[in-house]
Structure 1
Amino acid sequence: MLKEWRHRRAVQRVKPGDGRPLKRFRWWQMLTRALFHLRLTDDAGRQMVYAVDVRHQNQSEGYVKAHLYLDGRHHAESKVPAVFPVQGGTVEVRTSAFGLKRCHYVTAEGVEHQLVPDPASAEGRRARLDRAHHALSRWIGILSSIVLVIGLILLILQLAEQVTRAPEGVAQYVGTFTSPIDLSAWGNVVVGLVTVAASTERALRLRYNWLLDGGAG
């Protein structure tokens, strides 16, 4: 019931578009913009092309907006998480701190299909790598997951040490914990940068886990 309520609320947030044309994707927008496409056919057999455009850096209003284009024209917009009604179902868009974590077409029967990333986008380039070098792509994905697991373990160890060493912490009950891994300030910076890179790589594949990627943020 809560999921259905959130779905209705998201649909109610959708505002009509202004008809402006969709701008082509530029190479310098790879880490600040996501662009996905969806081709559908209406009841009369006419093909329609939808596009979802998300500008990650455009947060002047305090939130990220997703824009829906139909046949190259601005059709609708909404604050994310967004749910856009389209032919035969809805398009659901959700973001994380590192990019998109969901951009799917959900039919009226509940079948889900991920939209196709624009070839010029970072997501499109990552998808092309997966098609051309699947084994390499798979190992990159595994490495990203390993990096995030290690980062999470280090974070837990540091938090446990800080909590048990607090003046009025839990040390009086469980004793003092000392992390077996003592990273320098530079070491923490490197770990932070590597985990951000790993979560960004996963976001390019629309992979998200609240514990791994959420902890990295």
Structure 2
Amino acid sequence: MSRRLRPLRRHEILHRALYATTRPGADGRDAVWTVEVDMSRDWDARLYRDGEQVARAEMPASLPVPGGRIEVDAGLYGVTRMHLVTDDGGERRLPPVPGTLEYRRARLARRSPAVSRTIAAVAVAVLLVNLVLAVPVALELLTGIDAVAARFGTFTSPITLPGWLNTGLLVAGVVAAAERALTWRRHRVVDAETIWTAL
């Protein structure tokens, strides 16, 4: 299974996530344990010790490390879980590797909290607008099914948007969902429109 961890290239930051932690090895010496999730290739999580691949698993993944395991999961918009769970029951999130999109977003939050909060608020607003607009469209589609229409009648959405606006809202929704994933925020209502991607 010998395979070296490739350096992160700038064009890979949209689809490749790297998280790392330092743990003592069997010989007592500290080793860097890195988890790679490359969503352009597959939905696997790969574990490296000092840059050498030692494990690979489909997600949701549980990767063994000395003194515990690293639990990994991801959705369409990014990593949703990356936690070290120790044998004594402790749990902590692994930090992203410098250069990754996750690292850059966390650095922005540290350096410019006001800007970070504004971006987060805009993402919530976009997702809520999309959710409100999606409800009547979903009802119209649902009542278009013969069995549903026979029992409850049909529904015609009062909202008709031009194609360019629909496309713009779709793109904005994807960006907003990715922003929420980068900051590991999740809310049952705000993120309702993106829940299907976790199925």
Counterpart AA for 1:135: A
Task: State the 1:68 CA deviation.
Answer: 0.3
List alignment gaps of at least 5 residues for structure 2: none
Does the CA contact (< 8 Å) of 1:91 and 1:103 recur in 2? yes
Does 2:13 align with 1:30? yes
TM-score, normalized by length of structure 2? 0.86
Cα deviation code 1:114-153 (max 9, x no counterpart): 1111111111111110111112112212221221122122
Q: Which moved more, 1:137-146 or 1:193-202?
A: 137-146
- In structure 2, relative to structure 1, the CA distance for the partners of 1:167 and 1:143 (3 Å cut) is closer
RMSD between superposed Cα atoms in Å: 2.3
Does the CA contact (< 8 Å) of 1:196 and 1:216 recur in 2? no
Does the CA contact (< 8 Å) of 2:75 and 2:197 recur in 1? no
Task: State the 1:51 CA deviation.
Answer: 0.2
DSSP 3-state at the match of 2:133: helix
Look up the match of 2:194.
213
Does the CA contact (< 8 Å) of 1:151 and 1:216 recur in 2? no
Counterpart AA for 2:182: L
Determine the C-alpha separation between the residues in 2 that align with 1:215 and 1:96.
10
TM-score, normalized by length of structure 1? 0.80
> Identity across aligned pairs (percent)?
37
Give matches, 1:1-217, under 5 Å: 18-41=1-24, 46-59=29-42, 64-164=43-143, 166=144, 168=146, 170-171=148-149, 173-208=151-186, 211-215=192-196
Cα deviation code 1:137-178 (max 9, x no counterpart): 1221222122112212211111112333x3735455545434
List alignment gaps of at least 5 residues for structure 1: 1-17
Determine the C-alpha separation between the residues in 2 that align with 1:168 and 1:153.
25
Task: State the 1:201 CA deviation.
Answer: 1.2
Cα deviation code 1:29-65 (max 9, x no counterpart): 0112111111123587532210001111113xxxx11
Look up the match of 1:15.
none
Task: State the 1:95 CA deviation.
Answer: 0.9
4+ long deviations beyond 6 Å: none
Count, aligned residues: 195
Q: Which moved more, 1:113-122 or 1:183-192?
A: 183-192
Task: State the 1:88 CA deviation.
Answer: 1.6
Task: State the 1:181 CA deviation.
Answer: 2.4
